[in-house]
Chain A
């Protein structure tokens, strides 16, 4: 499968724990986006990368959230001291440098107990 992949697909954690998600974009895509989707809502933009540079972060991304893309390939999203309100589907998407389709991964569903 040459599409966007995300790992893990599901994560259950206790409040206060740290979690980290990984996204592997399509190999030639230099832009990578993270979105969060809660129940009954559409995906909401969190942050995006152009190669390894994080170019923008939404105000939704509190200080407990950090994202990296160290070599311009895969990306990680870490949530520290998780709260129940962090329970959501976390989606990753990638796009190449030109004007083109944004490809989404299957998402990581986080449940914070």
Chain B
């Protein structure tokens, strides 16, 4: 069965410091992974997906198949990055399995 693990429920980082949100997965198929973000009082929205290899709002994530990880990183945190972040795995036909989420708080 597929599983997504986000070990940190809460993460606080000072503004300007680097950010890393951890995500590990288990899946027998070829993984397709995403990061979704939910800002306060807004709906869940896609931040980035591994196949596009984009940098969105300064965030990047590299799929490491050996370590089965897809950690989200940003070199310099900004206050507007404070949000709930979910790692998600497509387990076929765009059905998503989500992790439990990490609440990121940027300290001014």
- Asked if B98 and A42 make an inter-chain contact with CB atoms under 8 angstroms apart, the answer reads yes
Query: Which residues in window 58-97 of A have CB below 8 A to B?
Result: 91, 95
CA distance A103 to B46 in the complex (A): 8
- Asked if A95 and B94 make an inter-chain contact with CB atoms under 8 angstroms apart, the answer reads yes
- Hey, what's the 0/1 contact readout for A18-60 against B, CB within 8 Å counting as 1? 0000000000000101010000111111001000000110000
Task: Write out the residue numbers on chain B whose beta carbons fall within 8 Å of the beta carbon of A91.
Answer: 44
- Asked if B95 and A45 make an inter-chain contact with CB atoms under 8 angstroms apart, the answer reads yes
Query: Which residues in window 88-113 of A have CB below 8 A to B?
Result: 91, 95, 101-107
- Asked if A106 and B43 make an inter-chain contact with CB atoms under 8 angstroms apart, the answer reads yes
Q: Chain A nearest CB: distance from B15 CB in Å?
A: 27
A47 and chain B: residue at smallest CB distance: B95
CA distance A56 to B95 in the complex (A): 10
- Asked if A42 and B93 make an inter-chain contact with CB atoms under 8 angstroms apart, the answer reads no
Q: Which of A33, A41, A43, A105 has the most CB of B within 10 A?
A: A43
CA distance A58 to B78 in the complex (A): 38
- Asked if A104 and B97 make an inter-chain contact with CB atoms under 8 angstroms apart, the answer reads no
CB contact between B94 and one of A31, A43, A44, A107 (< 8 Å): that residue: A31
CB contact between B46 and one of A33, A41, A42, A101 (< 8 Å): that residue: A101
Contacts known (A101-B46, A102-B46); A42 close to B101, Cβ less than 8 A: yes
Q: Which residues of A approach B to under 8 Å, CB–CB?
A: 3-4, 31, 33, 35, 40-45, 48, 55-56, 91, 95, 101-107
